[in-house]
Structure 1
Amino acid sequence: MDTMKILWVDDEIEMLKPHIIFLNTKGYEVEEATNGHDALDLIRDNHYDVVFLDEHMPGITGLQTLPLIKELDSSLPVVMVTKSEEENVMEEALGSKIADYLIKPVRPAQILLCLKKVLDNEKLVSQNVTTRYRESFMQISQEIGDCRDIEDWKRLFVKLEQWELQLSDSKDDAMDEILSMQKREANQAFFKFVQNNYHDWHDSGIQNFSLNSVNAISKGVFPILDQGKKVFMLVIDNLRFDHWLALKELILMNYSVVKEAVCCSILPTATMYARNSLFAGLTPNQIATMYPDCWVGEEEDGFKNLHEETLLMRQCERYRRKEKVQFIKASNAHTGGKVMDHYAKITQADFSVLVINFIDMISHARTDMDMIKELAGDEAAFRSLAKSWFEHSQLKGLLEKLASEDIHVVITSDHGTTRVKNPVKIQGERNTNTNLRYKLGRNLKYPSKGVFEVGRPNDIGLPHPQVSTKYIFTKPYDYFVYKNNYNQFSATYFDTFQHGGISMEEMLIPFVVLKPK
């Protein structure tokens, strides 16, 4: 194991010789500096694993030296050593992201404990997470077999997503692979569950079913308005549950969670269907029947989501809502960068909705651009990219500013995405839709196993353009490819994030209610 190098910065370094000798006997290499300027020169030219920094020094103080160290190496752990326990001193040090602090006079045992915390913390956390997941593995496998209803699947999915983030942070590749295998097992079982139960959900009335695309506003938003609260609803296209978990830490700096739920997207898990249903509070075939002016079928030319605002207003009218409603759509990079301009509209409305498509744009760009595919190479990288976008976006600034208002925030999506691996050959007529995860058309030819086939679309709330039209939905990780140019297209779309079919990641999406702290 490499020797750990410590830089100890103190104007009274001679007084600390016994501590330095003690650390040498424990296998640590200690270099010394008596002031902040010398410390900065040493850090420029050498690698250190940790810095002990005296808070009170002549010249530039420890608190003045600290941000200069972070400019040179933001990841270098710094332990502040101080005689002062004054609250403002500690707040300033902690605000500058020190790794730990010690109060003089320090004792050898304190120093060793501090080093253990700072240098071994990541390793200890990783080992702890790995051990806990290994202990939970058999229980989760049992739960996969025991899931009987959609609420069981929601609870299991949240547990798997939380483990995925923890194991991703632990950098244990072997455990990552084991979890991936367990998620694949869960997804295959989830597909069979949906295949066996989806008709029943509609037979019993999808509006009364568990929180889903059709009833999310009536069940999740209107009750908050009934309490006299204003609501800002943020709909982020393609927002998966693991994306929400990645953004959560940043958002909870200004908000507390009122409700963290899972909403079930309808099929197909595609914007045309799920998002129109979200705003209409109706199934797609109900929209096509009741509001034909607002429904553009797959076989028709034109954009499919041009009437979302109208559908939202009509849902509010059906429920006899009297609130002032504001609808905002940021559907491209240009408008997405100007969301702060809508602050006044949001605060003046009782119920405001912002649709933002940035994560959806990442998904499409990842398919089309090698650079984005490399940046978002897997789920962990995709989460990191989504978090980085949010952290530097106007959306974060908008939420921070709204935290000063008495407005509840609802964050949700229309559907998620899944990373596809397995091409499935299909044949269809020329006008068959282009989505890779579901197909709508006549005379479709495909493997009979591994798809959810719906010959009577009205039974699951979908339009039925022609008598012989059927919908087919593919399994997790599969994607449909036509026989023509099969090799080219299977290679193009292999390992891309797609939506439209059946998987936990596509169907089970976040529905989070927040209130300002």
Structure 2
Amino acid sequence: MANAKILWVDDEVELLKAHIMFLKGKEFDVESVSNGVDALEMIQEQAYDVVFLDEQMPGMDGLTVLGEIQRINPNIPVIMITKSEEEQIMEDALGAQITDYLIKPVKPSQILLALKKVLENKRLITERVNSGYQQDFRNIAMQFFEANSHEDWMDIYRKLMFWEGKMEENVDKSMEEVLNHQLAEANTNFGRFVARNYLDWVNSRDLVDRPLLSPDIIPQTVFPHLDGGYDSVFFILVDCLRFDQWKAFEALVAEHFYVDREDAYFSILPTATQYARNAIFSGMMPLEISQRYANYWKNDDEEGGKNLHEADLLAQQLKRNRINAKYSYHKVITPDDGKNLADNIHNLLNNDLNFIVYNFIDLLSHSRTEMNIIKELAPNEAAYRSLSRSWLEYSPLMKALQQLSKKNVKIILTTDHGTIRVKKPVRIIGDRTTTTNLRYKQGKNLNYDEKAKYLFTIRKPEDAMLPKTRVSSTYVFTMEDYFFAYPNNYNYYVNYFRDTFQHGGISLEEQVIPIIELSPKNR
């Protein structure tokens, strides 16, 4: 911060000598001028790090000078100083996007603080974030060994996501590597926790003993709001939305909605669309769907779309639960689908319930695998979050949400599963009927390292409420950031899929996923 160049514009500049001497004593390079015309000439001739600008000056007033400064150099920070406490002047200055606003008489300490906020903000935040994480590091590490419940793991993941978000803008990336290592260690322990408990969860109806799972979502989070006095309840499922992506979305959504509840639930295995999303809309585990509604279910090795009957499964779930409400179901896959939904969102208010599937994040994930330009735009999790946030900000979904923010509605925003960036390959051999997913395999006579601690095997699919395509079918899931690769063309496929976002296996990112309740601010 020392030696930063400051231009102070004030028609009473002679009264500022004490302040200027104070700043020069702090090794700032300070120049002063008594009017806006001279100030603009100086800004055109040389660069300044900060401009202090008096609001009330004869000739060109401060707001007029501010407008000209922004035209010459829109990136220069301007701190406005004024004698007036009139609300309208403050609003005009804030509306003109000043960097800070001080009211005379100002103290040297106020000036110094304003300069630190402008010139050292990122460094100070980085130091504070790194210090905070260092203090919390040991507590989180201890939780790995003490975590005995799904609530414990939700808490651990929330903390890790909190620090990941805080570090995103850090100038110093030294602690980011430590955090990434801790997240990897968390996933190792989480995988073992899921392997120990998963079969008990899916065979229990008692929500006290297990986490909320995919089939529970609509009965537990949607149906209770039918008698809540809302004109309509919207269930919006954004496919493949990770918890950290929701946190990136939150500020945009919070402009228009109160976040009444921010929670998480566990996706069933496999954390793949055909299993998890069908489970959500049917209110059943995959084995139950395949047995009760065989015409709505396709196994991994069968041709055709695996999620073509969500609306039919939803109708059956509503019928079983004796929900007689008027409802709609919409799936958004193309840009035209999204535009049509936003343009006609007001018509949906005539329904008691509206179910919307928005399939963009999953498409982004696949595009990143297949297109180098997307991989360059999103080389890591932070960039992936940023790209996802940019999509939402300018998407038809945001337009639809803005319209709903003026209505008496309740919105449940959630997803079916997340993704993880895979890095480490593991060999597996199977016949041509084996599934192609990189994070799990289903097939017979699978050949892999059965002793590997980063794999979870289910030899009797019915124990996990999963259908099987053959009498001897086995499911095997990767944990942490592993992915399956066949020996044929091994190096080619490893290089192609390494560092891509995949789903289907066991990780915090894939399984611990957001479920958010929103109510409008502007109704």
TM range (shorter): over 0.9
Provide the C-alpha distance between the structure 1 equivalents of 2:152 and 2:346, rounded to a whole number of angstroms: 41
Matched residue, 2:506: 502
> 1:466 is matched with which residue?
470
CA distance in 1, matches of 2:109, 2:292: 74
The alpha-carbon distance between structure 1 residues 356 and 41, as it changes in their structure 2 partners (threshold 3 A), is farther
Partner of 1:225: 226
Q: Which amino acid aligns with 1:5?
A: K
2:132 is aligned to: 132
Say whether the 8 Å CA contact 1:424–1:481 is kept in structure 2.
Answer: yes
Aligned to 2:286: 284
Partner of residue 245, structure 2: 243
User: Residues of 2 paired with 1:331 and 1:355: CA distance?
Assistant: 8
Aligned AA for 1:495? D
Counterpart secondary structure, 1:390 = helix
AA matched with 1:177:
E
The one-letter amino acid of 1:428's match is: G
Q: 1: CA distance between counterparts of 2:386 and 2:56?
A: 38
**What is the 5 A alignment of 1:135-214?**
135-205=135-205, 209-214=210-215
Within-5 A mapping of 1:48-447: 48-57=48-57, 61-66=61-66, 69-70=69-70, 75-205=75-205, 209-229=210-230, 230-447=232-449
- Give me the whole-angstrom Cα distance separating, in 1, the residues matched to 2:173 and 2:218: 40
Residue 462 of structure 1: SS of its match in structure 2? coil
- Which 10-residue stretch deviates more, 185-194 or 27-36? 27-36
SS in 1 for 2:344: helix
Matches within 5 A, 1:477-516: 477-516=481-520
> What CA deviation, in whole Å up to 9, does each residue of 1:466-501 have, x standing for no partner?
111111101111010111110100000111111000
Residues 342 and 171 (structure 1 numbering): CA distance in 2 closer, same or farther, change over 3 Å?
A: farther
Contact 1:9 1:54 in 2 (8 A): yes
CA contact (8 A) 1:8 1:30 kept: yes
Alpha-carbon deviation of 1:2?
A: 5.9
CA RMSD of aligned residues (A): 2.2
Question: Gaps (5+ residues) in structure 2?
Answer: none
1: CA distance, partners of 2:379 / 2:272: 22
How far apart in 2 are the matches of 1:361 and 1:372? 11
Instruction: Tell me the secondary structure at the aligned position of residue 346 of structure 1.
Output: helix
**Counterpart Cα distance in 2 of 1:272 and 1:308:** 10
Aligned residues: 517
Structure 2 letter corresponding to 1:193: F
Structure 1: state its 5+ residue gaps.
Answer: none
Q: 2:436 and 2:59 mapped to 1: Cα distance? A: 68
CA deviation after TM superposition for structure 1 residue 510, in Å: 0.5
Q: TM-score, normalised by structure 2?
A: 0.93
Residues 201 and 211 in structure 2, CA contact (< 8 A), matched pair in contact too = no
Q: Which amino acid aligns with 1:187?
A: N
Alpha-carbon offset, residue 290 of structure 1: 1.6
**How far does residue 66 in structure 1 lie from its aligned partner after superposition?**
4.0
* Residues 21 and 216 of structure 1: CA distance in aligned 2, closer, same or farther (over 3 Å): same
In structure 2, how many angstroms separate the alpha carbons of the residues matched to 1:477 and 1:150? 20
Residue type of the alignment partner of 2:459: G
Aligned-residue offset at 1:84: 1.5
Residues 272-295 of structure 1 deviation map (CA, whole Å, 9 limit, x = unaligned): 111111111111111112222211
- Identical-residue share of aligned pairs (%): 46
Question: SS of the residue aligned with 1:476?
Answer: coil
Question: Deviation digits for residues 255-280 of structure 1, max 9, x if unmatched?
Answer: 11211101110001011111111111
CA distance in 2, matches of 1:347, 1:65: 49
